[in-house]
């Protein structure tokens, strides 16, 4: 009975396993391949390292963000930082006028632009609608 269970499991009585995968012929390994083709291996390693360096530099390096202007799109608004948004609101209030409480007006303006840019995004127009157009509901 033990022999029947072993053959049903795919194991033979001597401990060999069936279907263990293809055996690697002697001399066929990654190390042997790299030692056999040293120039190609070195060039491949240099290319991989260069790609890693470029990826890290472009990810970590934070390029200077462009300031938000009237012509910036809602997509640029969404990518802007909170400080950029408040700075734009203060510039807008300085150019187009605002109430006596500039801070409150700036927060209200940022909220208005956020709301209208979300609306433009839902309509699929976030790349086409400028911040000024969103404030004026001109889309």
- Where in the sequence is the domain holding 118, given as residue range(s)? 74-135
Strand partners, 130: 73
**Does a structural domain hold residue 44?**
yes
Are residue 34 and residue 87 in the same domain, yes or no? Answer: no
Are residue 48 and residue 81 in the same domain, yes or no? Answer: no
Ramachandran quadrant class, 97 (left: phi over 0; alpha: psi -120 to 50; beta: rest): left
- Would you give per-residue pLDDT tens digits along the chain (139 residues)? 445 444 444 444 555 555 565 676 776 888 888 888 999 999 999 999 999 998 888 777 655 567 888 888 999 998 888 889 999 999 998 888 776 677 778 899 999 999 999 999 898 888 889 999 988 888 7
Domain end residue (candidates: 60, 93, 110): 60
Domain count, the chain: 2
Q: Do residues 78 and 126 make contact, with C-beta atoms less than 8 angstroms apart?
A: yes
What's the CA gap between 23 and 2, in Å, rounded?
Answer: 28
Are residue 83 and residue 129 in the same domain, yes or no? Answer: yes
Strand partners, 11: 17
């Amino acid at each position: 009975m033990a022999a029947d269970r072993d053959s049903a499991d795919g194991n033979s009585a001597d401990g060999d396993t069936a279907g263990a995968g293809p055996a690697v012929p002697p001399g066929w390994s990654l190390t042997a391949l790299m030692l056999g083709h040293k120039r190609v291996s070195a060039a491949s390693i240099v290319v991989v390292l260069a790609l890693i360096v470029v990826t890290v530099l472009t990810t970590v390096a934070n390029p200077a963000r462009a300031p938000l202007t009237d012509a910036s799109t809602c997509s640029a608004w969404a990518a802007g930082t909170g400080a950029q948004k408040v700075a734009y609101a203060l510039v807008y209030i300085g150019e187009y006028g605002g109430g006596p409480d500039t801070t409150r007006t700036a927060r209200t303006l940022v909220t208005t632009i956020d709301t209208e840019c979300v609306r433009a995004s839902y309509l699929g127009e976030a790349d086409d609608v400028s911040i000024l157009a969103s404030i004026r509901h001109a889309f």
